[in-house]
Amino acid sequence: MLRVMRKHAQNWLMKAILFIIIIVFIFYFGSTRGRNQTETVAIVNDTRISNAEYMKEYQNLLDVYHERYGGQLTDELLKTLNPKKQALDNLIEQSVILSQADELGLTVTDDEIKNAVYSYPVFQKNGVFDKTLYEQRLRYQKMTPEDFEVLQKKTLLAAKLEGLIKESAKVSDAEAHDVYRIQNEKLNVEFVSVPCRSFAGRVTATEKDLENYLKNHGEEFREPRKADLKYIVFRDAEYASSSEVADEDIESYWKDHEQEFVKADGTAVSLAEAKETIRAKLGLAKGMEAAFAAARMAHDTIYMEENFDGYAAKIKRNVQTASIYETQPVTGPLAQLKDLPMLAFDSFAGDILPVISDESGLYVFKVAAIQPSRIPALGAIREKVRERYMEEESKNLCRKKADALLARMKQEGGMQRVASAENLPVAETGLFSPGPEVPGIGTSPDIEEALFEINAAHPFPGGVFSVDGNFVILHLKETGALDAGDFDLKKDSLTRYLAKLKQENFFRSWLDGIKAAMAAQGKIQIIKDAAEL
């Protein structure tokens, strides 16, 4: 928070400038109550936060994000970061902190301000404060020393208040040891897997079940927009076979590209030896030109005369058909046409698309129809719905069974006897350091989190875990011994780290609580919501 305040301290100057402008408007145009409301985005304890301050804070945040993310700063990421809301929240929190410092009677002496100013490296030359440099730096920022020192006073007040709040957050030896244990303790966990596939035979699906399932899960079966296409292909190879290549063209190519015709031993290939290879290459090039000309002629004629099928019959070309989906990759013989989906779904039924090419030829397309996104009727996807329903119901039965087994194991204080009664084998991980990969079980972030919560007093986690088609029940069997000497060596640094973390969280909680209380008392008024700015 203080770092943000220091970085954007010039916002207070913008506020002063805005105040002068408002006074001028009052003098010339009388009451400006409505105009003040327009210029003010929030009020904290009668202190107005201006739109100019907000815009400056918002721009600073954008600059930070552009520097941090570079080209990866997409519109979607900006939407997630929500800099508009962050800018307004930052300014409100700055005002709340200063108002609380004032209520507590905190003060800052002239000497404290002086020492703070003198400590800035940017105002020092050879490690000593330089007044001339100080004034030059401030002029560059369009500030006077008086303005800057007012900002320092506010920053120091906020720092004093933050320090007072954080001082009340302490770290006990037990907390430090708990964190050390989490970081270093190894566990041996026994576990039972309840396979969901064993419940498949217990599930039946009536027509009514399938109808209800499709009704409740329709979006899972929604088909994207579909484009039905007709197309004619003009293959380069077809035109190459009918293209004549003159001997002088072959000889000219051979002379210009002799470096291409070298044998493995480094000797040159003669014209006679290279002749047919060159003929084929030049023939293909001419074929490409001829195919393009034919495709262009077909496109323009069909576009003008609207006679796709008739023109195809006239030039003795087969009309082929295909369907592509908006959110699915194109497959089959059209897979190399990367621009096809964009062109097709930006068009209407009956449109002729621009000529598209791949490595082997050119295509002229007609959009026969654009089918809207839809959820198919049950009759069209009955087996798919049945499969999904059976899978989900089997999983539900499996979870119920696993939950019941866990409850029995907790009640009886172990898992061996309960698992044996159900003919379920009990396996062990062996001693390992908790992480996302659990020996014998697989990868499970949920299990990783649970491993940090179980202990000798509570050896079972709160629930069961879904892993690779099974529901897994865990039980802590034993823990590895911790190295007391190693803890003693790391205790101080660990305590300092935890203290810093705890203090930050404590201050954050205090600030959130103060903001909520002030808002409830009407001491924080949002004139313009962030979405409106």
d(CA 525, CA 36): 14
Residue 15 has pLDDT above 60, yes or no: no
Place 24 in a pLDDT band, splitting at 50, 70 and 90: very low
- Name which of 153-162, 238-247, 277-286, 364-373 the model is least confident about: 238-247
- Quote the pLDDT of residue 433: 92
What is the Cα–Cα distance from 307 to 285, expressed in whole angstroms?
A: 30
Residue-wise pLDDT tens digits, 306-325: 999 999 999 999 999 999 99
Confidence label for 284 from pLDDT (cuts 50, 70 and 90) = low
Residues in the chain: 533
**pLDDT class for 250, splitting at 50, 70, 90?**
confident
What pLDDT score does 423 carry?
94
**Span of 373-382, 417-426, 523-532 with lowest mean pLDDT:** 523-532
- The pLDDT of residue 236 is 81
pLDDT at 9: 35
* Interval 121-165: pLDDT, tens: 999 999 999 999 999 999 987 889 998 999 899 999 999 999 999
**Structure-token pair, residue 89:** 């929240």
How far apart, in whole angstroms, are the C-alpha atoms of residue 235 and residue 7? 64
Q: How confident is the model at residue 245 (pLDDT cuts 50, 70, 90)?
A: low
Q: What average pLDDT is seen over the chain?
A: 87
Q: What pLDDT, on the 0 to 100 scale, is given for residue 33?
A: 33
Residue 17 has pLDDT above 70, yes or no: no
How far is the C-alpha of 443 from the C-alpha of 448, rounded, in Å?
9
Q: Mean pLDDT, to the nearest integer, of 448-473?
A: 93
Tokens 């291409």 appear where?
260
Distance CA(24)–CA(17), nearest Å, equals 11
% helix, strand, coil for the chain, step of 5: 60, 15, 25
DSSP secondary structure string for all residues of 55-93: HHHHHHHHHHHHHHHGGG--HHHHHHH-HHHHHHHHHHH
Which tokens hold the place of 296? 């262009």
Determine phi and psi for 416, rounding to 5 degrees: -60, -55
Q: CB neighbours (10 Å) of residue 337?
A: 19
Alpha helix stretches (DSSP H) within 316-377: 340-345
Among the residue ranges 163-177, 235-249, 496-510, the one predicted with the least confidence is: 235-249
- Which pLDDT score is estimated for 238? 81
**How is the chain split into domains, by residue range?**
2-168+512-532, 186-215+379-479, 223-371
d(CA 440, CA 121): 57
262-298 in b/e form (b: 16+ CB < 10 A) is eeeeeeeeebeebbeebbebbbbebbbebbbebbeeb
Q: How far apart are the first and last CA of the chain?
A: 22
pLDDT of residue 32: 32
Query: pTM score, two decimals?
Result: 0.56
Q: How would residue 262 be classed by pLDDT, with cut points 50, 70 and 90?
A: confident
What is 2-168+512-532's CATH number? 1.10.4030.10
Residue among 225, 231, 283, 229 at smallest CA distance from 253: 283
* Sign of torsion over alpha carbons 517, 521, 525, 531: positive
